[in-house]
Chains A and B, each alone.
Chain A
Amino acid sequence: MDYLFYILILVDIYIILAVSLNLLMGFTGLISMAHAGFMAVGAYTTTLLLTRTGMNFLLTIPLGVALAALVSALLALPSLRVKGEHYIIASFGLQIILYNILLNWVSVTNGPFGFSGIPRPKIFGFTFATYRSFLVLATLIMLVCTFLIWRITRSRFGLVLKAVREDEGAASSLGKNVNHFKVAAFIAGSSVAAVAGSLYATAISFIDPFCFTVHDSIFMLAIVIIGGTGNIFGSALGALLLISLPELLKFLHVAESIAAPLRQMIYGAMLVLFMRFRPQGILPEYREKKG
């Protein structure tokens, strides 16, 4: 059973990542390659605060979010003025920078060794020591994050984001400050990734820079694309599917040395098949017309 709970905790974490990335990709049209980097900001913030100051876990989450918001603002303010592919490259650059900070700022991040034995969250005297109890906590936090992002997408703010995605010039001709909306969406979406990082560090109880590479960012992009850009519930479904399906390999008694590359191939094949046969993803932005 513990194994199942563990997988479901990972699903919760990746739902938070995919839903927040979808706010950027699906709703605002900003493809970010730095999502794993922002996740790392949350993971390292929580880890350092828990191990060095013994701060309450729930307090470390908003601090991780705040730091990720700051970092994303530093990227967003100069680079969102550039368009499309230039911005993707800028976010790629930020991902590489964040990764290298984790790897080389040894006095703070412990460099390539990372941190192990990260304590489990303790709230009001209760320690979420088992996977079962941690799953409850992770699911609650996932629901809060998803609800907040769902609210954003349903609001007038979310509508303007879509308008910006469709046509920036037309949106500005209707009185919308396009840069303002892009920066706000980027900060909001990126900082939520830090929440997933905080959960990840305490769930796995081990982090190092290699947990947060550009490959992980691309994996998150794949979840959003396969789930359906512009549909929050598609991202949740995509995370469930892409995290749990490869785990089935374990039951087929495939050796781990084969299972790991096989998993990558499954992701690649799924992405290609979806692009070819269902580019709108599992759950499209709008319901298809009948007939």
Chain B
Amino acid sequence: MAENDYFQLLDVNKNFGGLAAVRNVSFAVEPRKITSLIGPNGAGKTTIFNLISGHLLPDQGQILFRGQEITAWPPHRIVGLGITRTFQDLRLFQKMTVLHNILVGFQNRKGEHLTWALLGGPSLKAEEKADLQKAHDLLRLVELGKKAGELVENLSYGEQKLLSLARVLATDAELLMLDEPASGLPLGEVDRMMGLIQSLVKQGKTVFIVEHNMEAVMGLSDRVIVLNFGEKIAEGTPVEIQKNPEVIKVYLGI
């Protein structure tokens, strides 16, 4: 499989009324790398995330994953294929415990079938025990091990952000789309989050980040794609992007 066959957008368009939110955008994401999509507010970054995750339907264009077209698939099928996402506003299940938020992330569990839920049985018990173990491991990874029984609404913002990362890891997806993973975090926690993301890539994950803060992702990314008013204006390594005159002009406003 050629590198750019892993994941790509081809001429994707999305209009909201008269507004072209995404215009003829094409790019590829390479496996086991960190790719960042940056651009000023309103550039269409989150729209692209919503188009990929199936929460919005593109007007035109194709989205391909491992050579398979996934354009306009419903969100749950896209997760089943191995693509998952976080949300800028986290969208955790506020009135559920931290542990339960993780458990919902696991895929294809027997206990999610009504008949299994009613009948029970030893294999279901074994699955639930294994899931609990896995959930606690994930919580320890993001240093929330002691908060498992806490309601999400009682966590700090930084903790909620870490939980939203742990929750998508629970899906075991290989392509993680992270919507502004560093925004709103105090400086020390930004480093912790970035360290976590790097360790995920070392474990074989592919990371695709949306970020409006250019500085935050420059040190982290293998490739950077720049959007402005719904159009791709540049793509390259962080060094190339930082030198690109058009990026400097439209993005940094200099």
Which residues does A use to contact B, with CB under 8 Å? 148, 151-152, 155-160, 162-163, 166-167, 169-178, 184, 188, 285-286
Q: Identify which of B80, B91, B114 contacts A157 (C-beta below 8 A).
A: B114
Contact at A155–B79, with CB atoms within 8 Å?
no
Contact at A167–B117, with CB atoms within 8 Å?
no
Write out the residue numbers on chain A whose beta carbons fall within 8 Å of the beta carbon of B111: 155-157
Contact at A167–B104, with CB atoms within 8 Å?
no
Distance of A172 Cα from B120 Cα, bound (Å): 25
Write out the residue numbers on chain A whose beta carbons fall within 8 Å of the beta carbon of B105: 174-175
Distance of A156 Cα from B111 Cα, bound (Å): 5
0 or 1 for each of B157-199: is its CB under 8 Å from A? (1 = yes): 0000000000110110000000000000000000000000000
Write out the residue numbers on chain A whose beta carbons fall within 8 Å of the beta carbon of B110: 156
Q: Identify which of B74, B96, B112 contacts A156 (C-beta below 8 A).
A: B112
Known: A170-B87, A170-B91; 4 extra A-B contacts, CB below 8 A, are A155-B117, A156-B128, A162-B93, A169-B75
Contact at A167–B93, with CB atoms within 8 Å?
yes
Contact at A177–B76, with CB atoms within 8 Å?
yes
Contact at B107–A175, with CB atoms within 8 Å?
yes
Q: How far is the CB of B174 from chain A (nearest CB, A)?
A: 13
Contact at B104–A174, with CB atoms within 8 Å?
yes
What are 15 contact pairs spanning A and B, CB under 8 A?
A151-B118, A155-B111, A156-B111, A157-B114, A167-B91, A169-B87, A172-B55, A172-B75, A173-B75, A173-B85, A174-B104, A174-B105, A175-B84, A175-B171, A176-B112
Interface of chain A, main secondary structure:
helix
Instruction: Determine the interface band of chain B, counting residues with CB < 8 A from chain A.
Output: 35 or more
Write out the residue numbers on chain B whose beta carbons fall within 8 Å of the beta carbon of A162: 93, 95-96, 100
Q: How far is the CB of A234 from chain B (nearest CB, A)?
A: 15
Closest A residue, CB atoms, query B128:
A156
Write out the residue numbers on chain B whose beta carbons fall within 8 Å of the beta carbon of A160: 104, 112
Q: Identify which of A152, A157, A173, A184 contacts B84 (C-beta below 8 A).
A: A173
Q: Which residues 40-56 of B sit at the A interface, judged by CB distance below 8 A?
A: 53-55
Q: Which residues 75-121 of B sit at the A interface, judged by CB distance below 8 A?
A: 75-76, 79-80, 84-85, 87, 91-96, 100, 103-105, 107, 109-114, 116-118, 120
Known: A173-B79, A173-B85, A286-B151. A148 touches B95 (CB 8 A): no
Contact at A152–B171, with CB atoms within 8 Å?
no
Closest A residue, CB atoms, query B95:
A166
Write out the residue numbers on chain A whose beta carbons fall within 8 Å of the beta carbon of B87: 169-170, 173
Contact at B103–A156, with CB atoms within 8 Å?
yes
Distance of A169 Cα from B76 Cα, bound (Å): 10
Q: How far is the CB of B50 from chain A (nearest CB, A)?
A: 9
Write out the residue numbers on chain B whose beta carbons fall within 8 Å of the beta carbon of A163: 93, 96, 104
The 9 closest A-B pairs by CB, nearest first: A156-B111, A155-B117, A175-B79, A172-B75, A170-B91, A166-B93, A157-B117, A163-B104, A177-B76
Residue from A158, A169, A172, A184 with most neighbouring chain B CB atoms (10 Å):
A172
Q: How far is the CB of B109 from chain A (nearest CB, A)?
A: 5
